[in-house]
Amino acid sequence: MSKRLIVILGPTAIGKTGLSIQVAERLHTDIISCDSRQFYKDIPIVTAAPSAEELKRAKHHFIGMLGLDDYYSCGRFEIEALAKLEELFASHDDVVMVGGSMLYIDALCNGIDDRPNVDEKLRDELWKRYETEGISNMLGELKILDPEYYEEVDPHNYKRIIHALEICLETGKPYTEIRKQEKKQRPFDIVKIGLTLPREEMYDRINRRTYVMIEDGAEAEARNVYPYRHLNSLNTVGFKELFAYIDGDYSLEKAIEEIQKNTRRYAKKQMTWWKRDQEINWFSPFEKDKIFEFLGI
C-alpha cells in the first residue's frame, strides 16, 4: 500500500486546525505544521498556534521549534519535513500536513527549484537601494518585471521582494518563470484538501478571530516580544499593528482594524496563489463528512 500525505490548506481563519486534528484522530497519525510563523516559540496567540488541548489530541511537528532570532527557510523545511515524513511513514500509512504558508507547502509537495547564483555586486546594489529609498520603488520595479509574482508577494516582505528582483535582473526572466521548473517526484502520494468560503463569510471569520486573539492576550504577547520587533520572525500581520499601538502611533481600535484589513489582504493573496494549483480538491469547512468520505476515512 502506498503512503499518503494529506495536505489541508486554505486561507487564514478558515478552520484548518480543527479539521486536521479530526482527520489525524481518525487515521491515528501525526500532523506536520506548515505555518511558517508557528515554527517560532513564545508567540502562540498572534500566530493562532494550536492550543495545549489541541496538541494533546494529535501529535504535531514543527510547532514552536525555533527561537525568534533563528533563521529558517523553505529549503531547510523541505529537507527536514521530508526526513520527518520518512520517519513517520515507517509506522503510518497516512500523515497529515496543515498550514497556509504557500511557499513552504510548495517546497514539500513540489521541491525547491534550482535557483541561479546571484552576482554579489548586484545583491549589494539592491540592498543599498533598499536602505536608501525603501521598498516602494523596488516593489514598483517588480510589478514591471514580474507582474504575476507582484500580485502574490507580501508588499511588506522586503526580503522576498529583493530576492525576486535579484533573480529577475540576474536572468532577464520573470522570477515566476524560474520558480515554475519541473516538479520533483516524491515517494508518497499527495492529496490536497483546500478549504474555502464565499469572500464575505471568509472575511467575517477573520474579523471575529481578530477579536478573539485580542481577548486571548495578544497585546501582552506583543509587549513581551517588543524588544525583538526588528526580527524577521515578528515582521508579520498582528505584531506590526500591535507594535504601532505600543509605539503610540495607533489606538487599540485602529490596530485591530489594521490587523483585520491586512489579514483579509493576506487571505486574498493565499487564494490567488492556490487558484493556479489544479491538484487541490476544494470543500467548505462545513462539509467535513464529504471530506472524510473523499479521503475514505
Q: 139: part of which helix (H) or strand (E)?
A: helix 136-145
Q: Looking at residue 6, what is its pLDDT?
A: 98
CATH code, 224 = 3.40.50.300
How far, CA to CA in Å, does 197 sit from each of 19, 105, 203, 276?
A: 15, 21, 9, 17
pLDDT-derived band of residue 201, with 50, 70 and 90 as boundaries?
A: very high
Same domain, 157 and 281: no
- Collapsing DSSP to helix, strand or coil, 63 comes out as coil
- Collapsing DSSP to helix, strand or coil, 128 comes out as helix
Q: Looking at residue 122, what is its pLDDT?
A: 87
| 184 within some domain | no
Same domain, 198 and 275: yes
pLDDT-derived band of residue 156, with 50, 70 and 90 as boundaries?
A: confident
58: pLDDT strictly greater than 80: yes
Q: Looking at residue 114, what is its pLDDT?
A: 64
pLDDT-derived band of residue 126, with 50, 70 and 90 as boundaries?
A: very high
| 102 within some domain | yes
Same domain, 87 and 219: yes
Same domain, 71 and 130: no
On the 0-12 / 13-18 / 19+ scale of CB atoms within 10 A, 259 is buried
Average pLDDT over the chain, rounded to an integer: 94
Of 156, 179, 202, which residue sits at a domain end? Answer: 179
Domain span at residue 155 reads 120-179
Same domain, 137 and 266: no
Same domain, 287 and 169: no
SS3 content of the chain, % helix, strand, coil (to 5): 55, 10, 35
Q: Looking at residue 238, what is its pLDDT?
A: 97
Q: Residue range 242-262: average pLDDT? A: 98
Q: Can you say whether the dihedral through the CA atoms of 88, 89, 93, 97 is positive or negative?
A: positive
Same domain, 161 and 249: no
| 36 within some domain | yes
| 137 within some domain | yes
CATH code, 151 = 1.10.20.140
- pLDDT digit string (tens) for 69-121? 998 888 899 999 999 999 999 999 999 999 999 989 999 999 876 667 778 88
pTM equals 0.82
Write 226-229 long-range contacts (CB < 8 A, 24+). Answer: 228/68, 228/69
> How many structural domains does the chain have?
2
